[in-house]
A and B are shown apart, each in its own frame.
Chain A
């Protein structure tokens, strides 16, 4: 192991460990645990039965007490490893429990009852993943509906965002017209107008337009994002105007120039904006929370919050559904992390 570490690290000060090398690796390993640990813990917990969830201190893996079917009993009985008064141990099932005395029986011989102090026994446990945490909510609650609402909002908002933002960016980068700089100033000026500032009047506009309790009321206010226009415009400015002039010589219409020349060339910037739009819209919370009051319209985020806010929180379902909500973002993270980090480093987006 020290050899591996030595191979993996390039240290200052030759063979000696400089204190900065130690700090570096402590920081990195600690970061790994702190950044991934909570999500991993959530995922592990999501497979536990309600009984295992309420145990303290919690176990890493989902354990359940093994049960056995005994003749003469309707329900399966829990199994325990019992230390008998004579010092020997045996695996027995619990018939019933009164106070601190448990009546134990041998599953093979249900007639003889042994009374044992509950201190003298340990439950027989096995690892079992409670997949019902995942399957049940899909049937019992409206999670499939929430999932569908979230997908609808995300896809629609992203498609519209890309379409109208790229058109506006095209106009702002490839044409000269009056009011152009004014529009640019307004767009840049509102880059930082957050939802928190305008949510009261926005709500009344949405209501006036009849979009309250409608998924379109969630989608439309988010699609004309100044960030997107700005990012795409900066990128399209780098596309040479000669290409466009050449296309005009060939009698291409302005619309054809837009979608056959500029759009394909702006594909990298469009891809970055698409990834961000998907992540933003999938994760949106405050605005859907305001616009959607009918539970059949909830997005995953709103639905999760409502269920988690109930008096008797059913953590085993909440945890499982949180994991489901995380999956698309994790997929984006695994496959597109490179694009995203490049997008942030070059444009300060997010």
Chain B
């Protein structure tokens, strides 16, 4: 490890003598002049400016004008060509005979997507946390090669959503591996997993769990390893049954991490898009059409383009996410307090 890092430092300094140092020195000349004018603290503005400029243009401004956008109508994309329509888009969205029946709504696409997303979020997060928790508990046992096993479950986290979608499209297709395994084992008929509504919905849940569970496992494992070992030793001395140790020691002490994981998973699940888009394209029909895809199609892709409606939908999604974020901050604060005590 030490030999490695010294070698890296050597090559870095070689590069820095040749390129970085002269360039940085050159930049320093005008900046010294700037510093004479603005003083030490004035330089803070210089350091923060590039980031704030980019941030303002590409995050803050869109964030603000999204509200304006949601109150305009028409198919034009530039704001100055759009008519102000007030709360019309929101009224459109909320004109519904029965919110649980998307077909009775004026914007049935939105409500279908919202309902699908809600169902996806509940099922995916519950299963995701269950699987991650079991895996974390297992990885926390005294097993040989823990870092190898940890890496095994983490591997899909790094894959791109497009790759994830294509891998599973390839496996779930009619002539695919899953059908082949079922055929060899049970002589089952070939089944179109991505053409059946329920199966496709289940597939999006399974695939997204496959792709993301490693991340949550890692956070939970870190939490498990922070639990003092002597608690378990004491429990063993007392001859406490294992299940009791789990429910009385592990779970309560892991609660703060579980809470963070729960909120993070919820926030991510609400925004599900890429891997599902590649896997099913929202189909069959609209059975795997989730809210981000609805916004994407309304804003950019579909024939019935309506950017105002897309903006309104995105603000509604944003409101849900803000509530979840506040929850997470509250959870994090509770953690900090716990840590301090």
Interface size of B in residues (CB-CB distance below 8 Å): 105
A54, A165, A259: most-surrounded residue (chain B CB, <10 A): A259
Interface residue? A73 (CB, 8 A): no
Asked whether B48 lies within 8 Å of A197 as measured between CB atoms, the reply is no
Closest A-chain residue to B145, C-beta based?
A: A8
Give the complex CA separation of A290 and B186 in angstroms.
44
One digit per residue, 1 when the CB lies within 8 angstroms of any chain A CB and 0 when it does not, for chain B 284-313 equals: 000000011001100110000001001100
B73 to chain A, nearest CB (A): 13
Closest A-chain residue to B8, C-beta based?
A: A267
Asked whether A57 lies within 8 Å of B180 as measured between CB atoms, the reply is yes
Residues 324-350 of A at the B interface (beta carbon under 8 Å): 325-326, 329, 332-333, 337-338, 340-341, 344-346, 348, 350
One digit per residue, 1 when the CB lies within 8 angstroms of any chain A CB and 0 when it does not, for chain B 303-330 equals: 0000100110011011001101100100
Closest B-chain residue to A222, C-beta based?
A: B58
Interface residue? A35 (CB, 8 A): yes
Given contacts A201-B311, A350-B157, contact A183 B278 (CB under 8 A): no
Give the complex CA separation of A223 and B55 in angstroms.
8
Asked whether B168 lies within 8 Å of A38 as measured between CB atoms, the reply is yes
Give the complex CA separation of A332 and B155 in angstroms.
10
A57 to chain B, nearest CB (A): 4
Asked whether B314 lies within 8 Å of A305 as measured between CB atoms, the reply is no
Residues 151-177 of A at the B interface (beta carbon under 8 Å): 163-165, 167-168, 170-172, 175-177
B184 to chain A, nearest CB (A): 6
Give the complex CA separation of A168 and B170 in angstroms.
44
Given contacts A24-B143, A34-B210, contact A305 B260 (CB under 8 A): no
One digit per residue, 1 when the CB lies within 8 angstroms of any chain A CB and 0 when it does not, for chain B 225-265 equals: 00000000000000000100000000000000000100010
Asked whether B58 lies within 8 Å of A333 as measured between CB atoms, the reply is no
One digit per residue, 1 when the CB lies within 8 angstroms of any chain A CB and 0 when it does not, for chain B 45-60 equals: 1011011101101111
Residues of chain A lying within 8 A (CB to CB) of residue B152: 28, 31-32, 35-36
Asked whether A197 lies within 8 Å of B54 as measured between CB atoms, the reply is no
Residues of chain B lying within 8 A (CB to CB) of residue A27: 134-135, 138
The stretch among B63-71, B97-105, B118-126, B197-205 that forms the contact with chain A is: B63-71
Asked whether A192 lies within 8 Å of B144 as measured between CB atoms, the reply is no
Interface residue? B130 (CB, 8 A): no
Residues 259-301 of A at the B interface (beta carbon under 8 Å): 259, 279, 282-283, 285-286, 290, 301
Give the complex CA separation of A96 and B218 in angstroms.
60
Main secondary structure of the interface of A (DSSP, over half): helix
Give the complex CA separation of A58 and B170 in angstroms.
12
Asked whether A200 lies within 8 Å of B66 as measured between CB atoms, the reply is yes
B79, B141, B179, B310: most-surrounded residue (chain A CB, <10 A): B141
Residues of chain B lying within 8 A (CB to CB) of residue A285: 160-162, 274, 277-278
Asked whether A56 lies within 8 Å of B278 as measured between CB atoms, the reply is no
Given contacts A167-B47, A253-B31, A348-B264, contact A183 B143 (CB under 8 A): no
Interface residue? A42 (CB, 8 A): yes
Asked whether B260 lies within 8 Å of A205 as measured between CB atoms, the reply is no
Given contacts A35-B153, A177-B41, contact A308 B296 (CB under 8 A): no
Asked whether B169 lies within 8 Å of A205 as measured between CB atoms, the reply is no
Residues 2-41 of A at the B interface (beta carbon under 8 Å): 8-10, 12, 20, 23-24, 27-28, 31-32, 34-36, 38-39, 41
Interface residue? B43 (CB, 8 A): yes
Give the complex CA separation of A325 and B160 in angstroms.
9
Asked whether A58 lies within 8 Å of B177 as measured between CB atoms, the reply is yes
Interface residue? A79 (CB, 8 A): no
Residues of chain A lying within 8 A (CB to CB) of residue B41: 175-177
Asked whether B58 lies within 8 Å of A203 as measured between CB atoms, the reply is no
A164, A170, A200, A304: most-surrounded residue (chain B CB, <10 A): A200
Given contacts A58-B177, A333-B155, contact A318 B215 (CB under 8 A): no
Interface residue? A210 (CB, 8 A): no
Residues of chain B lying within 8 A (CB to CB) of residue A200: 66, 69, 295, 299, 307, 310-311, 314
Asked whether B180 lies within 8 Å of A164 as measured between CB atoms, the reply is no
Asked whether B52 lies within 8 Å of A168 as measured between CB atoms, the reply is yes
Give the complex CA separation of A254 and B42 in angstroms.
10
Asked whether A308 lies within 8 Å of B222 as measured between CB atoms, the reply is no
A98 to chain B, nearest CB (A): 27
Closest A-chain residue to B150, C-beta based?
A: A341
Residues of chain B lying within 8 A (CB to CB) of residue A38: 167-168, 171, 210
B62, B78, B151, B168: most-surrounded residue (chain A CB, <10 A): B62
Asked whether A41 lies within 8 Å of B166 as measured between CB atoms, the reply is no
Residues of chain A lying within 8 A (CB to CB) of residue B277: 285-286, 305
Residues of chain B lying within 8 A (CB to CB) of residue A223: 54
A159 to chain B, nearest CB (A): 12
Given contacts A220-B58, A322-B163, contact A31 B149 (CB under 8 A): yes
Asked whether B28 lies within 8 Å of A197 as measured between CB atoms, the reply is no
B104 to chain A, nearest CB (A): 26
Q: A56-B179, A201-B61, A333-B155 are in contact. List 5 more A-B contacts (CB 8 A).
A: A8-B144, A56-B175, A167-B50, A203-B299, A220-B57
25 residue pairs bridging A and B, Cβ less than 8 Å apart: A31-B153, A32-B152, A35-B214, A39-B159, A56-B179, A168-B48, A168-B51, A190-B55, A190-B60, A192-B321, A193-B63, A193-B318, A196-B271, A196-B292, A196-B296, A199-B295, A200-B311, A201-B61, A204-B69, A204-B307, A221-B59, A255-B27, A285-B160, A286-B292, A290-B296
